Structure 1
Amino acid sequence: MTRFVLASGSQIRRQVLENAEIPFEIIKPDVDEAVIKAERADLTPAEMALVLGEAKSEAVSRQHPDALVLGADQTMELDGQLLDKLPDAGLARDRLKAMRGKPHHLHSGLALFRNGRKVWTWQQTSALHVRDFSDEFLESYLEKAGWALTASVGAYAYEGLGAQLFERVEGDYYAIIGLPLLPLLAVLREEGVLPS
């Protein structure tokens, strides 16, 4: 079987792969996302997700040329702007108020590299429509959400309490939580990581 590496420290991506019973190991990439975002400010949020995923995959692939390496990233776009994760949970109230009653987009970018060369990429966008929630709900949410306020760019974990923020979504569940699984499974079968 082909050695498969996840170039990510994301707990949710790890969980998705484990739940699908995909054999993999984790090697965190040494990639400075802030530098890439500054140098490539001309990119759209969707393009940025793919560029960041490629950078992670390539960095680990150069160190482990025998492996098929997956790099993944997700960006959030609100009102045409690329947003970053919040450095402090205290900022979540303003972020959530800005999102209230409006759609935003999550862009997923996946890249597979082997021996420092790109093998495959995938970009997928999901639209999430935040409901016009009350201030009372917002305060209750902020009190209960905990780690989710800074773990994701939208200050929510869609797979948990964060689902209560939305009235509807357009997109694949796995893409929304950060790892479009079905297209990945297809290419892993082609590349010999999984049986066909």
Structure 2
Amino acid sequence: MTAVWRGSNPLILASRSQVRQALLANAGLSFETVPAAIDERAIQRSSGLARGDEIAVRLACEKAREVSSRSAGRYVIGADQTLECEDRLFNKPAGRAGAAEHLRALSGRTHTLHAGIAIVRDGKLLFENVSVARMTMRELSEEAIEAYLNAAGDAATASVGAYQLEKLGVHLFSRIDGDHFTILGLPLLPLLAFLRGQGLLSL
């Protein structure tokens, strides 16, 4: 256990995301990683939801609930992020061609990131939150797209917008409005506020 975390057991993060793991670790939280076994696209389709914020929260809740069902007594964090641009929802690109198509669609436009989180314990939803960031991508020529994809490599297909802001993706933007943690996919400040309110943090 860390000096910050006061819970009797570590948190559980229902995500494989290295970025989310790093955010929790850097905040001094004790946690374990147990990826959720859910079909995100099937849940999204069956939910009937169309708005990015609603989908992000629903998927975060479903991830946390699935892991909670096999983690008695533990606080489980679910997280999900959606990208919406001009009424279109984006998923992770399929390969380099898909990443290039994403970048062409986002070039010169402002898109919205919704980062949803949920905390579930013993199947009960204790907390949910969705935070918003708005990202304005600069006009990208075909040459700039090719140069970025060559430099970024496989990382371009690892996130929904074909970019990782904390890495080379920062070169793609002219303006960013929103919380840094929201952009990285885990709204850390509301999460910490909830945990603090539960008496689980020493700070």
TM over 0.5: yes
Render the CA deviation track for 1:117-160: whole Å, top value 9, x for unaligned: 00001111111000113332222101001122111010000111
Give distance in 1, aligned partners of 2:141 and 2:94. Answer: 25
Q: Once the two structures are superposed, what CA deviation does each residue of 1:85-140 show, in whole Å capped at 9, x if it has no partner? A: 11212221111011110011110110001110000011111110001133322221
- Residue ranges of structure 1 left out of the alignment (5+ in a row): none
Unaligned runs of 5+ in 2: 1-5
The correspondence for 1:36, drawn from 38, 43, 57, is 43
Is 2:182 the partner of 1:175?
Answer: yes
Q: Which position in structure 1 is the counterpart of 2:3? A: none
Q: Partner letter of residue 156 of structure 2?
A: L
Displacement of 1:64 in angstroms is 1.1
CA RMSD of aligned residues (A): 1.2
In structure 2, the partner of 1:148 is 155
Q: Do 1:45 and 1:81's aligned partners in 2 also have CA atoms closer than 8 Å?
A: no
- Partner residue, 1:5: 12
Partner of residue 69, structure 2: 62
Secondary structure in 2 matching 1:195: coil
Map residues 29-108 of structure 1 onto 2, 5 A cutoff. 29-108=36-115
Distance in 1 between the 2:161 and 2:42 partners?
Answer: 21
Distance 2:74 2:18 in 1: 21
2:130 maps to which residue? Answer: 123
Contact 1:7 1:26 in 2 (8 A): yes
In 2, Cα distance between equivalents of 1:104 and 1:148: 20
Q: Is the 8 A contact 1:7 1:57 kept in 2?
A: yes
Q: Tell me the number of residue pairs that the alignment of Structure 1 and Structure 2 aligns.
A: 196
1:60 deviation in Å? Answer: 1.0
CA distance in 1, matches of 2:54, 2:154: 28
Query: TM-score w.r.t. structure 1 length?
Result: 0.96
Secondary structure in structure 1 of the residue aligned to 2:38: coil
